[in-house]
Amino acid sequence: MNLKVDFKKPRVRNVLIILAVGLVLGFLWYQFVYVGINEETIRLESDLKKKQAELNNILILKPQLKTLEKDIAAAGVRLDSLKSMFPDQKEIPKLIREITGVARASNIYTTRFNPQPDVQREYYVENRYDLSVTGGYHQLAQFFSFLANMPLIINLSNVSIHENPSLAQSKKEAEEHGIPVTSITASFQMTTFSSKR
């Protein structure tokens, strides 16, 4: 079989030119399009593997999420409880309201409430107050009991209890107005604590 190709014929030339142009275009398409798409595909497959590994880690940790959320909620409740015992700052108006409420509940009358200078410690601040109260012996014990059961940490020191100097007048007023006899007076230093910022 003898194949002869005559390059002088326009038909053969056109076919060869079309084939040559097609090969050149195919080569250019391969170099600039296919190789770029192939590299992008490899990069995307690598990203997919990384994302799949991250997703697998997340799916493994997902059951622990509810446990962590419960732990965070419990820690928040505990923090709020500790803040009521150990506030961030000195809260004199709130303390006065609480002391007044406790005094009323135990039929004690507050005669003096003087804030004193704070004492700075390494991790906390001692907030000191001088107080004087008057009332009956059992009411004073009830007052101290109420103070001990407050959520705020309170220390009492330098407690001094004396007979009320105006006991006779107190008995007279008690008979006239039907109020409890204020038989004793007590003065003491009360210390609360706040966190140091």
How confident is the model at residue 74, as a pLDDT?
A: 86
User: What gap in Å lies between CA 73 and CA 65, rounded to an integer?
Assistant: 12
**Residue 38: pLDDT band by 50, 70, 90 thresholds?**
confident
The Cβ of residue 131 has, within 10 Å, a number of other Cβ atoms equal to 18
Give me the percent of the chain exceeding a pLDDT of 70: 84
Instruction: Write out pLDDT tens, residues 7-28.
Output: 677 777 788 788 888 888 888 8
Instruction: Write out pLDDT tens, residues 95-139.
Output: 888 888 888 888 888 889 888 898 888 888 888 999 999 888 888
Judged against a pLDDT cut of 80, whether residue 90 lies above it is answered with no
How confident is the model at residue 181, as a pLDDT?
A: 65
First-residue to last-residue Cα distance in the chain: 102
- Token look-up 């804030």 returns 115
User: What gap in Å lies between CA 108 and CA 16, rounded to an integer?
Assistant: 117
Helix axes 92-105, 137-148, angle to 10 degrees: 140
Radius of gyration for the chain, computed over Cα atoms and rounded to the nearest angstrom: 44
User: What gap in Å lies between CA 152 and CA 129, rounded to an integer?
Assistant: 14
